[in-house]
Amino acid sequence: MTLDDLRRMKNAISAFALCTALATSSAHAADLPPRKEAPVYIPPPVFSWTGFYAGLNVGGGWSENNSFSAGNWWGTANNEVGGVIGGGQIGFNYQLSPLFVVGVETDFHGTSISTRNNGWLNAGVSLPWFGTIRGRVGLAALDSHLLLYGTGGFAYGEVKNDWAGVNSTRTGWTAGGGVEWAFLPNWSTKVEYLYTDLNNDDWNNWNNWGANRHTKFHTVRAGVNYHFNLFSPAPVAPVVARY
């Protein structure tokens, strides 16, 4: 056997060993379990109050002293009265920052607030309905889900005076505050207090007969709102990490 034959044999053995090693490595890799893809947790988007909303509410109201008198000249009036109120509201919020929220809201209510004069004419005053247009300024807490706010603005309503035989629509102002809790992404519940003062009108200028110039009353109501979230960002698709 020549030297060249020995070299060719050595090269053949080396090539065979290399092929055997590659085949063994491939077989071992085939026996390994497949790679898994693990989802990466993405925190949910931060809740925002920005957007339009609409809802319903129900509660109660009571009058300020002497503000529902039909004419005390005729006898002693039952000046402190109460009743049930119920209605709806629509509005828009804008969240300026994680802490501050501003907005505007309008509402309309029917009421059973009324009184009867205890004098011999048995005259009475009632408030069949009222509405408001108000601004709101609030502070958000608990990841923005809790909103504490103050509110105030324009008020209007119908005051019916049995003694004068006149129904009149009065205007005035209202102010108050409340708390609202977003218990679901599109739903919130609230409790709100308002003080309302409806001004005098033409027929009530005969105040020399004892008729009061202002109709003042308090209301407390609980309600629920649906938030349309038209300005919320689109949901983000899940991100999957490969390893």
Res. 19: pLDDT tops 50: yes
Residue 28, in any domain of the structure: no
State how far the Cα of 99 lies from the Cα of 216, in Å rounded to an integer: 33
SS3 labels along 140-168: EECCCCEEEEEEEEEEEEEEEECCCCEEE
Residue 45, in any domain of the structure: no
Q: Nearest Cα to 145, choosing from 103, 176, 190, 105? A: 190
What pLDDT was estimated at residue 9? 58
Residue 126, in any domain of the structure: yes
Residue 42, in any domain of the structure: no
**At 128, which CATH number?**
2.40.160.20
Categorize the per-residue pLDDT at 72 as very low, low, confident or very high, splitting at 50, 70 and 90: very low
User: 141: how many CB neighbours lie within 10 A of its CB?
Assistant: 12
State how far the Cα of 229 lies from the Cα of 29, in Å rounded to an integer: 51
Residue 21, in any domain of the structure: no
The arithmetic mean of pLDDT across residues 152-170, rounded, is 85
What pLDDT was estimated at residue 55? 97
Q: What is residue 39's three-state secondary structure? A: strand
Residue 232, in any domain of the structure: no
State how far the Cα of 85 lies from the Cα of 57, in Å rounded to an integer: 8
**217 close to 194: Cβ distance less than 8 angstroms:** no
Place of tokens 């300026």: 96
The structure tokens listed for 235 are 């949901």
Q: Nearest Cα to 107, choosing from 5, 14, 32, 178? A: 178
Residue 125, in any domain of the structure: yes
State how far the Cα of 31 lies from the Cα of 152, in Å rounded to an integer: 73
Res. 46: pLDDT tops 60: yes
State how far the Cα of 143 lies from the Cα of 165, in Å rounded to an integer: 54
The structure tokens listed for 139 are 């502070």
The arithmetic mean of pLDDT across residues 189-209, rounded, is 73
Q: Nearest Cα to 179, choosing from 165, 167, 193, 166? A: 193
User: 211: how many CB neighbours lie within 10 A of its CB?
Assistant: 21
Q: What is residue 210's three-state secondary structure? A: coil
Please give the tally of structural domains in the chain. 1
The structure tokens listed for 141 are 């807490």
Domain around 127: 57-227
Note the pLDDT tens digit of each residue in 134-155.
999 999 998 899 999 999 999 9
Categorize the per-residue pLDDT at 40 as very low, low, confident or very high, splitting at 50, 70 and 90: low
Residue 238, in any domain of the structure: no
Categorize the per-residue pLDDT at 180 as very low, low, confident or very high, splitting at 50, 70 and 90: very high
